[in-house]
Amino acid sequence: MSARPSAPVLVLEHDPDIRAAITALLETMGFQTVGVGDAASAHRFLARRVPCMIVADVVADGWDLGSARARDERLARVPVIGLLPSGDGADVAVTLGVVGAARKPLDFDELERLLERHCPA
């Protein structure tokens, strides 16, 4: 397996079980991860570091990912995979400029394909 980026993947998901499952998948793929459960924690992390990718619940705590990326040139270049509620959220994903979207309940094979496509080894 080729080396993964040294910057971690930021996982923003309010549900601790889903967050743990996503971070476990990423770690088995060779990624370093930082998991957070709310927007405030995400903002604190992003003030200190730029991740190689963001996997985010697009409705988590009303975090305005789109405007945060628009205000910060460093974040504008970071690919985002949006986690969407079942049956809704596509319009939010488009507004945020995500590179891919996975619907809940998550299909982990699809999430893995999105990760490989947008952050290959």
Q: At what angle do helices 16-28 and 108-118 cross, to 10 degrees?
A: 50
Q: What is the CATH number of the domain that holds 78?
A: 3.40.50.2300
Higher pLDDT, 96 or 78: 78
Task: Specify the pLDDT at position 92.
Answer: 59
- Give 23-74 pLDDT, tens digit per residue: 999 999 889 999 999 888 988 999 899 998 899 887 765 566 777 777 888 8
Cα(28)–Cα(24) distance, integer angstroms: 6
49: domain range? Answer: 9-118
Tell me if 85 is assigned to some domain: yes
Asked if residue 4 belongs to a domain, the reply is no
Q: Is residue 27 part of a domain?
A: yes
> In the prediction, which pLDDT does 33 show?
95
Residue at token pair 């270049």: 77
- Number of structural domains the chain divides into: 1
Residue 64 in any domain: the answer is yes
Region 97-101: mean pLDDT is 76
Q: What is the pTM (predicted TM-score) of this model?
A: 0.84
Position 79 in a domain: yes
Q: Is 107 within the bounds of a domain?
A: yes
Q: Is there a domain that residue 109 lies in?
A: yes
